[in-house]
Amino acid sequence: MYLRDLRLTQFKNYQSAAFAFSATVNLVVGLNGSGKTNLLDSIYCLCACKSYFNHSDSQNIQHQTQFFRLEGNFLLNPNAPTDTENIVFTYTSAKKKDFLRNQTAYEKLSEHIGLLPVVMIAPDDVELIKEGSEPRRKMLDTTLSQLDRDYLNALIKYNRLLLNRNALLKQFAERNEFNATLLDTYTVQMIPLGNQIHQKRQAFCHELTPILQQYYERLSNGSEEVNCTYKSGLNDTDFAQILAQNIATDRQQQRTTEGIHRDDLVFSISQYPLKKYGSQGQQKSFLIALKLAIYELIAQHTQIKPILLLDDIFDKLDEQRIEQLLQVTACQPQKFGQIFISDTQQARITAICAKFGIENKTFLIVNYKL
């Protein structure tokens, strides 16, 4: 599967632009602020129905305009070059969002998730180490949603019930009343969904860790043991029991204080917390290894090679680590499909590609201004 061509209209700093891509390696080169990241993010949007960087679609509309439009043609089967998927994503300042597949609008955006799997590696990924549990949980949910439709449906239902349960708890506090039977109408529905989500997360993390270790060793030439441990209250206690035990606390705080929506991933190196004991180079290698492990698992489960987006990740890597990364990815077309690499230094990236005989198509991003 690969993106054959792309057209952007009023998307971030692109007034109007069109690109035709290579099925293998695409180099996106330009100065900081030229639009390299925005181009990669537009590809992510077409695959994932949302920006990798911006929480609100309105932030993707070009300044002083009223909408943006993205259109891409994806080839799912290289043996059938005329069999393409035409994907169009439009969003207006009136908060109207349309997503079309072959000129037909989706009834639900969730129907699109997983059709065009994608993995992004970007400098902002450092928040997975530095910040609280939410970015890590979001990464886990985004990954599993691409490879497991049942997981995505369970997550959507669980989150909807969670919002309703929290709203009810807040209502109880405002009215100084409590109705256990009414609260149970949400609780009993959340329990099987929470258990299902927990089991799938646990199984995924069990698969992930050995692959993470393999990629980390290849990228860093290091012998340290790295780990990604799934932390959940459901690991040791039944979900129904957790919710029952926390009713008093939930009433006091006016929200559901425990459950799979509080789960986390714990990153470690040599059995010590990565955030505290990992050097900058170790943390960077860990994050890249983590994303490549996720890529491999998506490919295994879906039998589709995701599009891999590498955004300015060479910025804090030495030349040896850059070469190791390209050897692991771009030099292995049998394992990795279409790859996009953005960089500020054309001479650097083209020289490394030439060194390893990596065929590529280069795009100079120089004329796009905010």
Q: Average pLDDT per run of 10 along the chain, which is 370 residues long?
A: 96 95 95 93 97 94 95 87 90 93 95 96 94 96 96 98 98 96 97 98 96 93 89 96 96 97 96 92 92 96 95 82 89 90 91 91 76
CA–CA separation, 246 vs 190, rounded Å? 14
Query: Collapsing DSSP states into helix, strand and coil, what is residue 292?
Result: helix
Hey, what amino acid is at 249? T
Residue 191 is predicted with a pLDDT of 98
For the chain, the domains span 1-117+304-370
What beta strand segments (E) does the chain contain? Answer: 2-11, 14-20, 25-29, 67-75, 84-92, 97-101, 104-105, 118-121, 226-231, 264-269, 272-273, 307-311, 339-343, 360-364
Going by CATH, does the domain composed of 1-117+304-370 fall within 3.40.50.300? yes
Phi, psi of 128 (to 5 degrees): -65, -30
Q: What is the full DSSP assignment across 45-103?
A: HHHHSS-SS-SSGGGGBPTT-SEEEEEEEEES-TT-TT-EEEEEEEEETT--EEEEETT
Answer whether 6's CB lies under 8 Å from 42's CB.
yes
CA 194/CA 198 separation, integer angstroms: 6
Q: Which of 198, 200, 206 is nearest to 258 (CA)?
A: 198
First to last CA, the chain: 32
> How far is CA 144 from each of CA 114, 163, 229, 282, rounded to the nearest angstrom?
9, 21, 16, 26
Distance CA 332, CA 340 (A): 14
Tokens representing residue 290 in the block: 């983590």
CA-based radius of gyration for the chain: 22
Helices (H), 221-246: 239-245
Query: Which residues in 69-79 are b (16+ Cβ under 10 Å) and which e?
Result: bbbbebbeeee
**Closest to 310 (Cα-Cα) out of 326, 294, 293, 296:** 326
Q: Which pLDDT score is estimated for 76? A: 86
pLDDT of residue 281: 86
Tokens encoding 201: 């997360």
- Report the distance separating Cα 99 and Cα 49, nearest Å: 8
pLDDT at 77: 78
pLDDT number for residue 370: 41
Closest CA to 146 of 106, 100, 96, 204: 204
Identify the pLDDT of residue 368. Answer: 56
Q: Looking at residue 86, what is its pLDDT?
A: 96
Determine what percent of the chain falls in helix, strand and coil, rounding each to the nearest 5: 50, 20, 30
Buried b (16+ CB within 10 A) or exposed e, 241-258: ebbeebbeebeeebebbb
- Cα–Cα distance between 78 and 83 in angstroms, integer? 9
How many CB atoms are closer than 10 A to CB 322?
Answer: 16
The whole-angstrom separation of Cα 286 and Cα 215 is: 9
pLDDT at site 167: 98
